Structure 1
Amino acid sequence: MKRRKVGNMLGLAVLSALLERPMHPYEMATVLRERGKDGDMKIKWGSLYTVVGNLEKHGFVEAVESVREGARPERTIYRLTDAGRAELEDWVRELLGEPDFEPPKFRAGLSLLPALGPDTVAELLGTRLGALEERLLTRAEALDGYRAEVPRLMLVEAEYELALLRAEADWVRALLHDLTTGAMPGIDAWRHFRETGQLPEDLGAFAEGGRE
């Protein structure tokens, strides 16, 4: 991934909001929240003004005017510059065209299964599966509700989320089945290790040799 002058994902969200029209930061946050952008990318709202300031510093946005409404503090309205539009387009190209192979936290947990016993792992996977199925149902219902009013172009990220949720739920369900039925090879040795602290020779050699 390219090292960017403003690498915070909130910066990308701000550039996308200003693509529509000039706004002050409070309006940017309102628009982004209404469109669920904090569900599409990791956003820390507390850094909004700092991010906008950094975008201005590097020429991606510029102040066009300051307005005051009643007794409210003065607000600065920003617009997207040509450099900002180019940065936005380049950033989106990168996100769409370059796969992100950063290991998820779940993979890290799976790599350390022996730290827990098979029964505990099965219990935790059952909890995870329940959460996945609940979110899958909620997000699917929300997507169905949007389809009648919102063009598919604006919903593809929700479709992608559902695809990932279904795939993970199916995989966790299958793993959970193998754990609870004893179909997973090596489960008895795993349980023995947890009870005695002694790693079987075949698993010990595998752990010491690593995975090619």
Structure 2
Amino acid sequence: MRRKVSNPLALAVLAHLVMGPMHPYELGKQLKDTGKDRNIKFNRGSLYMVVEQLRKAGFVAEQETVKDTQRPERTIYALTGTGRDELHDWMRELVRDPAHEYPQFGVALSLISVLDPVESVELLRARAEALTKDLDETRAMVGKATADGVQWIFLVEEEYRMSLVEAELRLVEKLTGELSKAEYQHQWREFFGREQ
């Protein structure tokens, strides 16, 4: 289904407005405070742009404009009934229907044979180190959040992230082993005309 606004940030905005009307700055703060910025990249400009797109689509509406002496005028946005329907329909689709994604590492793997296998092994080992560090940091963050009483449902995207990183690490280790084999390195040099 083609959506009027298909940016993942729009989905996060709709989801956060379920909790009540907010100003875009407050929305951005909540997204960062809840760690959603680990999965959804945004900046202040893109957030305001998405809120405007949602307003034009009828998914959010201006509820009120607040003016106090300390700050400039701020517009508070609320979720509309149509926006709530869009949120639920979109979430059902994302949870139910697998979609083929095109991650950059998948592109790199599909073309890795152009690199010298010795160099590929070095690069993959560096990637494994970075992945291991990311995995350790995520585990520590989830452990702290759990100890602080955060319910598991609010950490499920981090569980998903850790599962993906663990799977990628296994693949990287397997690939490193295969690329390290003298037989493959010989075949590669023969094929690419670099036999010494």
TM-score, length-normalised on structure 1? 0.86
2: CA distance between counterparts of 1:41 and 1:29? 11
The secondary structure found in structure 1 opposite 2:167 is: helix
Q: Report deviation, 1:195.
A: 4.3
Distance 2:93 2:131 in 1: 29
Q: How many angstroms does 1:194 deviate by? A: 3.6
Segments of 5+ residues of structure 1 without an aligned counterpart are: 198-212
How big is the shift at 1:89? 0.6
d(CA) in 2 for partners of 1:165 and 1:190?
Answer: 28
Taking the aligned partners of 1:145 and 1:191, their CA distance within structure 2 comes to: 49
Percent identical across equivalent pairs? 44
* C-alpha displacement of 1:196: 3.3
- Determine if contact 1:118/1:191 at 8 Å carries over to the other structure: no
Cα 1:44/1:97, change in 2 over 3 Å? farther
Structure 1 residue 114: deviation in Å? 2.2
Deviations 1:143-191 (A, max 9, x none): 1111121111111111111111111111101211222244xx6432112
Measured on the aligned residues, the alpha-carbon RMSD in Å equals: 1.6
How far apart, in 2, do the equivalents of 1:18 and 1:122 lie?
A: 47
Match of 2:186 among 170, 185, 188: 188
Contact 2:23 2:75 in 1 (8 A): yes
Name 1:3's counterpart in structure 2: 2
- The question of whether the paired residues in 1 share the 8 Å contact of 2:178 and 2:184 is answered with no
Structure 2 gaps of 5+ residues are none
State the number of aligned residues: 194
Q: Which is higher, the Rg of structure 1 or of structure 2?
A: 1
Confirm whether residue 43 of structure 1 aligns to residue 42 of structure 2.
yes
- For 2:61, give the aligned amino acid: E
Matched residues in 2 for 1:190 and 1:128: separation?
Answer: 22
The whole-number CA distance in structure 2 between the counterparts of 1:51 and 1:112 is 35
